[in-house]
Chains A and B, each alone.
Chain A
């Protein structure tokens, strides 16, 4: 196993994913296999190669004027939220 259970628990925490006790060994096993598999990249000779930033070499990120272009539709968008009040999203209390 290239990954330990403690490492996978750490990754799950960083990714904000609850993994059940029963499922944890399955993830330790499959994630280890994936990491072992991608390990073969380390043998590739990439000396002097720039990492790719965009699949089309000559593209640049476009800029636009910092101006409002959309109408306010917050009520429509908030229909997909499970808990909303007064135009705000509700979450469990964060500050006592």
Chain B
């Protein structure tokens, strides 16, 4: 079997057994990135020299029987994570020249586990988008069909891992930005509980919703990667000080006796029937393995998209006020005065969608509108969280589709922001309630003569990552959807 088709777990074991070296592996992936990367536009920066240095160091450690749990395994980071001495752009013209002066905690921890950094992946500008079409560096293409989007905002990470240009990659999820691209590219993508993974050095979009996680090719890989990235960090004020379980050891938990709640609101109008069918098939697989299936209703959930499009822009307008053209980021030419410096630097540095969200946020927070929009949305958010809490009184996990359709064509939804926002209709609820959620491959639909992947979403109570990963792992023992690689990238 070729090296690029192996999982992180298989690579880590192969490296420890010295069946191949990290240098060999790293050169193999760098070669694929050079050959197949440009058509996908998955990377903003390829860090070849750094990767070779990391690989040699890992090989030295492995030769001595040392090294972390992921020693010598190549990975990529979404370009939202600060990497010391390496360009960190957030796919924005605003940060096109920004060389991060420190490592994000996620970067530091994966490095401490022994990973090799292949590069930084393309994304929607400042993580604002659901198709990876808002990037300053151009759209990312879906390896399952190059005419289609890979989802967003972690679209570069998704395309890179799906096309086997990297065994795994980091992502961030504010309203579905890990799970939706995972669904559209046949990957396993986990958004952990709010506070589980440090946000330090992760460029902020909406701080009460942002959470780091990963895109991988199996639940077992996601467990290994989460173990290496999760845990308390004093540098993130909302990091939760709770022990990190052994996610890998807990994958063995059986499906028998599991109580699964089908979210009624996720199967209404708007869901592509072919996608719904694949999700129903997956639910039947769980039932046949001893899980008990009931329907649950979360009546406030249909309000999650409008709630999100008040809360997230509000936080975005505040977070992105730091880009002032003075301390870092784009600065306009020959400013007349300070106001002109601010306005033109920001006007030139931000793309259309980012400006739209900053302005939406500015409006809903402005005098006279704050109560009607922002405060109201934070109350509805409470109703949505209460719906989930009530459901978790009856069931262990709730389940449904990750996205309403399979991957759509580039340009299909760019003319109307609302159409684009509705892509995240099934994923946003978990962010608003701070819950962990995962998307796993559950089959394919045919469109335009192509097989396009479908994602199954599981949401659990706070800190139930182990349960989500175990259910996903058990499902992946019964199915092989997750093992399929797009034609041409085998």
A: residues with CB less than 8 A from B are: 3, 7-8, 11-20, 23, 26-27, 30-31, 33-35, 37-42, 44, 46, 49-56, 59, 61-62, 64, 73, 76-77, 79-83, 89, 91-94
Do residues B343 and A17 form an inter-chain contact, with CB atoms below 8 A?
A: yes
Cβ 8 A contact of A52, one of B325, B331, B385:
B385
Chain A's interface: helix, strand, loop or mixed, by majority? loop
Residue among A16, A31, A33, A51 with the highest chain B CB neighbour number at 10 A: A16
Q: Which B residues fall within an 8 A CB radius of A?
A: 97-99, 101, 193-195, 208-209, 234, 237-238, 240, 300, 303, 305-307, 309-310, 317, 321, 324-329, 331, 335-344, 346-348, 350, 352, 355-356, 358-360, 362-364, 366, 372-373, 375-383, 385, 416-418, 421, 432-434, 462
Are B355 and A19 in contact, with the CB atoms below 8 A? yes
CB atoms of B355 and A62 under 8 A apart: no
Whether the pair A31, B360 counts as a contact (CB closer than 8 A) is yes
Min distance, Cβ B124 to any Cβ of chain A, angstroms: 16
Partner of A38, one of B209, B336, B337, B377: B377
* Cβ-defined contact, A41 with B307, below 8 A: yes
Quick check: A91 and B380 within 8 Å, CB to CB?
no
Q: How far is the CA of A42 from the CA of B307 in the complex (A)?
A: 11
13 contacts between A and B (CB under 8 A): A19-B347, A20-B347, A49-B379, A51-B378, A51-B379, A51-B381, A53-B378, A54-B208, A54-B238, A80-B101, A89-B326, A91-B326, A92-B341
* Residue contact A55 to B433, C-beta cutoff 8 Å: yes
Q: Which residues of B contact A51 (CB under 8 A)?
A: 375, 378-379, 381-382
Partner of B338, one of A7, A83, A94: A94
User: Which residue on B lies nearest to A14, using beta carbons?
Assistant: B362
Interchain CB contact under 8 A, A37 and B306: yes
With contacts A56-B434, A77-B101 taken as known, whether A38 is within 8 angstroms of B310 at the C-beta atoms is yes
Tell me, in angstroms, the Cα distance from A73 to B376 when the chains sit together: 43
Chain A: which residue is nearest B209 at the CB level? A55
- Is A8 touching B359 in the complex (CB atoms < 8 A)? yes
**Do residues A34 and B366 form an inter-chain contact, with CB atoms below 8 A?**
no
- List the B side residues contacting A20 at CB < 8 Å: 347
- Determine whether the beta carbon of A81 is less than 8 Å from that of B326: yes
The complex places the Cα of A55 from the Cα of B194 at a distance, in Å, of: 7
Q: Compute how far the CA of A54 lies from the CA of B56 in the bound complex, rounded to whole angstroms.
A: 44
Complex Cα gap A3–B366 (Å):
14
Which chain B residue shows the least CB distance to A38?
A: B306
Q: Please pick, from A39, A55, A80, A94, the residue contacting B99 in the complex, using a CB distance under 8 A.
A: A80
Structural contact, B317 and A59, CB atoms closer than 8 A = no
Query: Do A37 and B309 form a contact, CB below 8 Å, given A76-B101, A79-B101?
Result: yes
**Complexed CA–CA distance, A73 and B102 (Å):** 11
Known: A55-B434, A62-B237. A33 touches B327 (CB 8 A): no
Tell me the bound Cα distance from A62 to B307 in angstroms: 28
